[in-house]
Amino acid sequence: METKRVEEYERDEEEEEDEEQMEEWDDWQSEEEEESSSRCLCLFCCSRFGSAEILFDHCRSEHSFDFHHVVRELGLDFYGSFKLINYVRSRVAENKCWCCGLTLQCSRDLQNHLHPASNFEKDGNFFWEDDLYLKPYMVDDPLLHSFAGDEDEEEDPPAVDEEMMRELMTSEELPKLCNDGQSMINGDSPISDVFKETGNTEASLDSMDKISQGMMTNGMILKPCDQKQKDKILRVSLANVVARKIKNVNEKYFGSYGSFGIHREMLSDKVRTDAYRGALLNNPSLINGATVLDVGCGTGILSLFAAQGGASKVIAVEASSKMAAVATQIARDNGLLSEDSMKGEEQHSGVINVVQCMVEELDKYIYIPPNSVDVLVSEWMGYCLLYESMLSSVLYARDRWLKPDGAILPDTATLFAAGFGRGGTSIPFWENVYGFNMSCISKEVMEDASCVPIVDAIDSRDIMTESVVIHSIDLATMKIDEMDFTAIFELKLRTDPANNATSRTCPCYGIVLWFDTGFTNRFCKEMPTILSTSPYTPRTHWSQTILTFREPITMTSSDAFVSTTAAVGTEESPAVRIRARISIARSSEHRSIDISQEISGISSDDRKHSWPVQIFSL
């Protein structure tokens, strides 16, 4: 099977050399698929095809998946079909059968197992019903831009929100909605000018409707266009707008890492850098002679550590073109750049090969046999563990290239929560500003803080409750869905060693989150280590993430008599514990996360007071 995949890959490479160079992404046209060098990757194997139609024929004959039959039988619209493709890709990446859910040992076993679907639903919903499948599973997936052009069914045009329509108004594809891009009968102005002249979305939509019916618009009569063709182009244009938004976010994200300031901050983070350095240098049984894949290498520091630790081959992947060039130069200057990267330069050969691309596109630039990497290393963590993190990319690389018994570093991650007191807020600062009382400002500041998560370092002395684990993940086995979770937990005042906190009361102003990642003895036999961002350990550049309550909740560790008429959480009736429900999920805004927080105070006599849910976006 490995030989077959290599042969297929080599054949594809030879065919692609004869094709025209890929056009700029924004100039892509749906009806010019055959002329584009973007080749659609099969949903189930490594084969690539020049059009969606050929790909679907292959899937039907080789993998028992008839896309068009499923779409017709279930009456799927454009978005349903879009989600189906992303759902199938996500299942295949986990070696799961897309229709029966069986997990297989490897992709070869999965391909042998594939069978016609007999069921498409669970609990009355399609398997792909979740809107998370509106996010492309594979970055810049050409299939998502071309499958709509193969539809034969007439469908109602999808609803268009105003933001998308504003982008469509200036799209070069829009003229095709009328007259197949021809000029107007009584003028030479392009159709997009009509929309630009209206100045608002509602008027533009009305103009589009009139144009499609051949009515007079701004004194110019247009030929009616084919409704089916118009719908197809509109659907494809919408897909382009969504994908373009994701691409723009990625470009801004990776572009931000072209600044040396952020790399200095990360390299200066001794806790972070020493943890990775120790794992890569002090575990020779893991690193010596290993093939290492570094996802998001930045300056290449982890790749340098791996090479120094004895790796026989290091593939450093970096999406930022600037930082990929910098990493290449650094590896060259330190005599660690491989011959493959040197391109004939007369320098001492090393082991590091830097590849500039997103890891999801790595196959386009270098061939790595599936399941051939010994060690996968990445510093993927973001604020609150998951913000702007590269975890989905790391899991993609793990499932595609890591050996079944390969190591992933780090291999565990744990998210913690605790309640914090007044010192964790900005209130004390405003009470004494160069000797002046400015506490009138603190009320508005606290209101703002209750709407936006704050990333800052909090003093361990301001942690007033016991710490609890709210989420743990095993990087070696986790699925991408585990990035979204809900945790229900309770917080109690921590014991003060000085006075045992037998009768104290104090207000809790919110919840603080932090994480640990582990390089455990599962892979790091000689020297396991923990990278902690806890307020009880030296500060890191991640700091902690602070979620402020709308109003403080007074807590006590005593079971003394309390007022039964006062609201729980007040000084008259303090809470003995806080019950919290926190949900963290990937946001519709690419690379962001949404956090919801529901809080209840419970008194010693089990009375409860709940506060409205808070929504934070990070």
Residues tagged active-site: 379, 388
Q: Do the strands 313-318 and 352-356 form a parallel or antiparallel pair, or are they unpaired?
A: parallel
Distance CA 426, CA 443 (A): 10
Tally of CB atoms within 10 A around 297: 30
Chain centre distance of CA 110: 26
> Whose structure tokens read 């970055």?
139
Tally of CB atoms within 10 A around 174: 22
Q: How far is CA 229 from CA 14, 30, 146, 572, 592, in A?
A: 35, 11, 14, 70, 36
Closest to 133 (Cα-Cα) out of 22, 53, 242, 228: 242
Element (H, E) at 402: strand 402-409
- Residue 551 in 3-state DSSP? strand
Structure tokens at 62: 């080789």
Rg, Å, the chain Cα set: 28
Tally of CB atoms within 10 A around 253: 15
Q: How far is CA 456 from CA 538, 545, 558, in A?
A: 13, 6, 31
Structure tokens at 550: 């709308």
Structure letter (DSSP) for residue 546:
E
Closest to 276 (Cα-Cα) out of 15, 518, 457: 518
Distance CA 64, CA 375 (A): 34
Distance CA 103, CA 459 (A): 46
Contact 340, 354 (CB under 8 A): no
